[in-house]
Homo-oligomer: A and B are copies of this chain.
């Protein structure tokens, strides 16, 4: 397939080119590794009626919910993230939730409404490159897997209907590398920032690190500490918990590719 070839040859380096391939149906599936120097975002689309409480939820929980873009109500563009973005077409796959029923679609122009607000939420992809730059072994990448994600027993701060447990990603490191990982990720204040926990998984309600709630398990070597970061799946759970009749998210792994460089996520 042309696009897989493109990907394996590393040819999709420009976000608007990647979005155009997605928009025209030439690129389907996960976006991991596509335009790796640019920020990719999680997507939540809600009616305006619930938008304030959702944004308030994100504000109260900035580590799991680092909002990087918000649309005008009814407007499918997101000029702060990319001049040509049309959120109805530019994500490879969406999940549409209507009255608790979920269906997967490849475009959402058919269900678009004038009251819908798009929220784009940052993702840890943005600091993983920086971890690798300082020669840390980001295990799920070196093992070719999805990052392991776990539901913790930590309650997020509720806002209106939105509430739920904190979800975390886990990356194992030797102690000295764990310290470096704190330093490096802390610089990425705009996308999850420093870890939320280090060491004992039980402390945060995780009973078995080999059985993640989402994503894949990764190897933890002797002497390594698990390091836990707040995860962008948290707001997706909060939206599901809110029982609102209509909302849309991206299909996990099928992210919005933005024009923002990852390195900008470290600027104050």
Contact = CB atoms under 8 A, between A and B. Distances in A.
Given A55-B52, A80-B157, A268 B70 contact: no
A59 interface: yes
B187 A268 contact: yes
A67 B59 contact: yes
Contacts of A14: none
Interface string A38-61: 000000000010011001100110
A108 interface: no
A232 interface: no
A136 interface: no
Contact of A268 (B55, B157, B194): B194
Contacts of A220: none
Contacts of A160: 72
A193 B268 contact: yes
Interface residues of A, number: 23
A168 to B, nearest CB: 16
Given A72-B159, A157-B80, A159-B72, A268 B188 contact: yes
A193 B59 CA distance: 18
A186 interface: yes
Interface in A158-199: 159-160, 186-189, 193-194
17 contacts: A48-B52, A55-B56, A55-B59, A56-B70, A59-B67, A59-B70, A60-B80, A72-B159, A72-B160, A80-B157, A186-B268, A187-B268, A188-B268, A193-B267, A193-B268, A194-B267, A194-B268
Ranked nearest first, the 6 interchain pairs of A and B with the lowest CB-CB distance are A189-B268, A193-B268, A52-B52, A186-B268, A51-B52, A189-B189
